[in-house]
Amino acid sequence: MIKHVPLSLSRRDFMKISSGTLAYLGLSSALTPKLAEALEKAANKRQPVVWLHFASDTGCTESLVKADKPGAAELILDILSIDYNETIMAAGGKQAVENLKEAVAKGGYICIVEGGVPTKEGYGMISGRQMYDIAQEVCGNATAVVGVGSCSFDGGVPASTPNPSSIVGIGAFLKSKGIDKPVINIPGCPVNPEFLIGTVVNVLLLGKIPELDSLGRPKDYFGRTIHDNCPRRSHFDNGHFVEAFGTQAEADGFCLYKMGCKWPETHSECPRILWNERLSWCIGAGSPCIGCMEPGFTDEFAPFYERLPNVSLPGGRVSANKVGIGLAVATGVGIVGHAAGRVVT
């Protein structure tokens, strides 16, 4: 079991962590003292967490350890009590199994699930047990379940067609077993660590599960499409597109829609929160969005470098071949509406 090792944090550093976390939540820095108080209370009574790994590549844990303000060290050692995580725990073998049994017996824990659940016998096992048996037992005794990454959301890459092991997301699995537990889905391939940390801190600060969309995703991070905040939005509106990589249009930051960018169908705050300590993100690095925050993205959005067949514009949905015409019509509608408004005024 991972033991609590207090970190030598000054009050000033702690307040900086709180301010950074508020930025992830999109809240005013005026709430910093209140958040600091909530985190201090959490440190005195650390929330137990059991982190399960199923069918995935452990990329979400790798993403978490690169988080900052609060960083993984503060989150794991001072804010939460990670009683079980196969990747970062010191224990192994029988001792690790005993740690899991002990944590489940104590109860009162939040279960974080990374990876999809193989539902066919023999396709996913840990220490001689079927993954689906472990999921049913551990999640069934949890106070809440958080699915991190696309694999836990709906099976992700391992569940792509033909999906021989019949992998499903943790929410669908629990529902199939009649287990009524609140599930917070935080998809992404991998998960954005700020989305996860912000959601955890939100629960600690407000004492309740955040408002979720119809897919169980926190609306704070999945309430808008990437197109809503994309810095290349003006280029799309003006019909400026990258037609091929390595061109001047790419260097000028033109819209990547024609290169396969899935921003019209992808709900995420990636443009606002970014990745890697708010340094950059996929589109900022010149790559089209592949839509990894959406269900079934590996099948629905493939091939990743081919444009979507149609796109939503103010005048309706327009086919990819007529996107320029659609933009002209949409712009015309906007101009007419603006002129009519001026006449009324």
One-letter-per-residue 3-state SS of the chain: CCCCCCCCCCHHHHHHHHHHHHHHHCCCHHHHHHHHHHHHHHHHCCEEEEEEECECCCHHHHHHCCCCCCCHHHHHHHHEEEEEECCCCCCCHHHHHHHHHHHHHHCCCEEEEECEEECCCCCCEECCEEHHHHHHHHHHCCCEEEEEHHHHHHCCHHHCCCCCCCEECHHHHHHHCCCCCCEEEECCCCCCHHHHHHHHHHHHHHCCCCCECCCCCEHHHHCCEHHHHCCCHHHHHCCCECCCCCCHHHHCCCECHHHCCCHHHCECCHHHHCECCCCECCCCCCCCCCCCCCCCHHHHCCCCCCCCCEEEECCEEEEHHHHHHHHHHHHHHHHHHHHHHHHHC
Would you tell me which CATH number, out of the four given (1.10.287.130, 4.10.480.10, 3.40.190.10, 2.30.30.190), belongs to the domain 226-344?
Answer: 4.10.480.10
Q: What pLDDT shows up at residue 254?
A: 96
Q: Do 291 and 300 touch, CB atoms closer than 8 A?
A: yes
> How many CA atoms are closer than 13 Å to the CA of 261, on its beta-carbon side?
27
Q: How far apart are CA 219 and CA 96, in angstroms?
A: 35
Q: What pLDDT shows up at residue 158?
A: 93
Q: What pLDDT shows up at residue 192?
A: 94
Nearest one of 241, 246, 195, 202 to 221, comparing CA atoms: 195
Q: How far apart are CA 21 and CA 9, in angstroms?
A: 16
Q: What pLDDT shows up at residue 321?
A: 58
Q: What pLDDT shows up at residue 334?
A: 39
Q: What pLDDT shows up at residue 6?
A: 41
List, for the chain, all residue ranges whose pLDDT scores fall below the cut of 50: 1-9, 24, 28, 326, 328-345
Q: What pLDDT shows up at residue 155?
A: 96
Q: What pLDDT shows up at residue 8?
A: 46
pLDDT digits (tens, 9 = 90+) for 104-162: 999 999 999 999 999 999 999 999 999 999 999 999 999 999 999 999 999 999 999 99
Domain ranges of the chain: 11-220, 226-344
Tell me phi and psi for residue 237, to 5 degrees: -60, -30
What's the CATH number for 11-220? 3.40.50.700
pLDDT digits (tens, 9 = 90+) for 202-244: 887 777 889 999 999 999 999 999 999 999 999 998 889 999 9
Assigned token pair, 327: 């933009």
Q: What pLDDT shows up at residue 81?
A: 87
Q: How far apart are CA 14 and CA 341, in angstroms?
A: 51
Spatial CB neighbours of 44, under 8 Å, sequence gap ≥ 6: none
pTM of the entire predicted model: 0.80
Q: What pLDDT shows up at residue 264?
A: 86
Assigned token pair, 3: 């033991």
Q: Do 311 and 323 touch, CB atoms closer than 8 A?
A: yes
